[in-house]
Amino acid sequence: MLLLQFLCCLISVVILGGLDFNLKQEMLFLRLCSTRAAEESPRPRSQVSRSSKAGLQFPVGRIARFLKAGKYAQRVGAGAPVYLSAVLEYLAAEVLELAGNAARDNKKSRIVPRHIQLAVRNDEELSKLLGAVTIANGGVLPNIHQTLLPKKVGKGKGEIGSASQEF
């Protein structure tokens, strides 16, 4: 590296025709010849992904590629894949949190499709969003229709009629 700097200095002296040059050229000459210039020169930085710039875990570059390849529009803005990644990451985190709670309620340490189904169907907004979605191996929500339940026997003063069946 030092040899390269020396050669640059020598070439600049030869090109400029000796040491008679103005202040601007002198500054350039000193910059080329000094060893501090090499130390201060910016090192090639490692590449920083758009996901890490945005503070996301979901891949912004991959979503941008899918948006472009999917022909949703002729052009895709720079912010669109970042925004879409953030929305998808939020939805995934929300579903995973609720599914984790459902797994813990069932005393399980592993989230299975049944827990995701319970989480989605018990949440009003997620159920509306994923209303037409079928989750494989999700099962159904436990529900017994009110007409199939036995009628309660009322023994209070305020009740007019009694139940047809007594248990």
- Report pLDDT for 88: 98
Residue 11, C-beta contacts closer than 8 angstroms, at least 6 positions apart: none
Q: Tell me: the pLDDT tens digits for 126-138? A: 999 999 999 999 9
Query: pLDDT higher for 13 or 138?
Result: 138
- Report pLDDT for 157: 60
Angle formed at CA 14 by CA 8 and CA 15, multiple of 5 degrees: 85
Question: Over the chain, what is the mean pLDDT?
Answer: 81
- pLDDT band for position 43 (cuts 50, 70, 90): confident
- Report pLDDT for 5: 47
Q: Which of 137, 111, 138 is nearest to 127 (CA)?
A: 138
Q: Tell me: the pLDDT tens digits for 105-121? A: 999 999 999 999 999 99
Say yes or no to pLDDT of 80 above 90.
yes
Q: How far apart are CA 81 and CA 78, in angstroms?
A: 7
